[in-house]
Amino acid sequence: SRLCANDLDVPVGHIVHTGMLNERGGYENDCSVVRLSKNSFFIISPTDQQLQLEDYFFLNKIWKNKMCFTALNLIGPRAMDVLSELSYVPMTPEHFPSLFCKEMSVGYANGIRVMSMTHTGEPGFMLYIPIEYALHVYNEIMSVGQKYGIRNSGYYALRSLRIEKFFAFWGQDLDSFTTPLECGREFRVKFDKGTEFIGRASLMKQRQEGVTRRFIMFVLEDHDTELDLWPWWGEPIYRNGELVGATSSSAYSYTLERHICLGFVQPPQTGLARPVVFTPDFINNGDFELILGGQRFHAKAKLYPFSSLFAQQRRRKNDMELSNFQGKE
């Protein structure tokens, strides 16, 4: 509880998204934590955070028991159908709610930690499998999934899908100088949980004074994906002709059929003693452009993802896919 900004005092089996912060309030670890028992927790972090996390635990005198798991993501509208055939446990939302973890058998392999969450914003599950069972479970999933049209998808495909859902990624969007308040994650910080967690004082001060920069989503509006250069990351961001930041991630959105960029913007300093505080008006009343290869492109800036539009378009697409699939049967 001292290490995590969010509240881990949840019922056994529940999953908590949280940050482990430094004294400045910046991210040392962006992770998910499962409460396995009263005094046992399972921490999930990106692979490229492992060494930093080892140092963080060492400096904070935390005992750990590192176990070897293989992680498999089962994502999509038919994920529940596939996993239901490989387990004796009901997989419906009523029996297996979101952000919940169960240890179960999958394809006769036991000790699988199955979590009802994904890092892409799509429905599905994450399976943490003891390495000796990994190949067997993978083969079982692929075998059962054939009739549902299952396909392999790589790590970087998942990394790109999270961008249209406005999910930040540690090491690319977030770093040790980024606070939860600057990237729209204040809801993952529990100031009143009764524990003086690391970084709380700095976050309290920042919340009182206001943030001076903010994590923003940009949708390129006049960009031709067939003819124009594609964004990568590091592209300059201009507001009303002034440089205000740079992108940190970008990807093609298969839902919007446009390119989306994520990045931090900061109001220009005016020579005042105190930095200019960011407000929503800075986004709502600004004309934004991104520069790709020397060419300017208009961009629509948003503080929050296009969730309603995503949901509508995704539902229509899933309904069409399901109708086509049933038609083939």
User: 3-state SS string over 252-320?
Assistant: EECCCCEEEEEEEECCCCCCCCCCCCCCCHHHHCCCEEEEECCEEEEEEEECCCCHHHHHHHHHHHHHH
- pLDDT at position 320: 57
pLDDT band at 126 (very low <50, low <70, confident <90, very high): very high
Give the number of other Cβ atoms within 10 Å of residue 171's Cβ: 13
124 three-state secondary structure: strand
113 contacts: CB under 8 Å, gap ≥ 6? 34, 42, 69, 101, 102, 103, 127, 128
Q: How much of the chain, in percent, has pLDDT values that exceed 90?
A: 60
Closest among 186, 227, 178 to 208, alpha carbons compared: 186
Burial class (CB in 10 A: 0-12, 13-18, 19+), 183: buried
Tell me the pLDDT of the chain averaged across its residues: 88
Higher-confidence position of 61 and 39: 39
- pLDDT at position 208: 94
Give the number of other Cβ atoms within 10 Å of residue 209's Cβ: 11
Give yes or no for residue 75 having a pLDDT over 90. yes
- What's the one-letter identity of residue 50? Q
User: Do residues 299 and 219 lie in contact, with contact meaning Cβ atoms separated by under 8 Å?
Assistant: yes
Sheet holding 69-75, edge to edge: 69-75, 124-130, 109-115, 101-106
Sheet holding 27-37, edge to edge: 15-21, 27-37, 40-44
- pLDDT at position 319: 55
Closest among 63, 65, 74 to 112, alpha carbons compared: 74
- pLDDT at position 323: 53
217 three-state secondary structure: strand
pLDDT band at 254 (very low <50, low <70, confident <90, very high): confident
Give the number of other Cβ atoms within 10 Å of residue 290's Cβ: 24
User: How far is it, in rounded angstroms, from Cα 263 to Cα 243?
Assistant: 13
258-265 and 242-253 strand pairing? antiparallel
Average pLDDT over residues 265-293: 87
Distances (CA, A) of 279 to 80, 166, 286: 42, 19, 12
- pLDDT at position 172: 87
67 contacts: CB under 8 Å, gap ≥ 6? 130
Give yes or no for residue 62 having a pLDDT over 80. no
User: How far is it, in rounded angstroms, from Cα 131 to Cα 144?
Assistant: 21
Give yes or no for residue 318 having a pLDDT over 60. no
For the entire predicted model, the pTM comes to 0.85
Go through the domains of the chain in sequence order and give each one's CATH number.
Answer: 69-161 (3.30.1360.120), 212-304 (2.40.30.110)
Question: Where does the chain have alpha helices with state H?
Answer: 50-59, 79-84, 134-145, 155-161, 200-209, 281-284, 307-328
- pLDDT at position 325: 45
Lowest mean pLDDT among 65-69, 71-75, 219-223, 315-319: 315-319
Query: Bridge-partner residues for 260, per DSSP?
Result: 219, 251
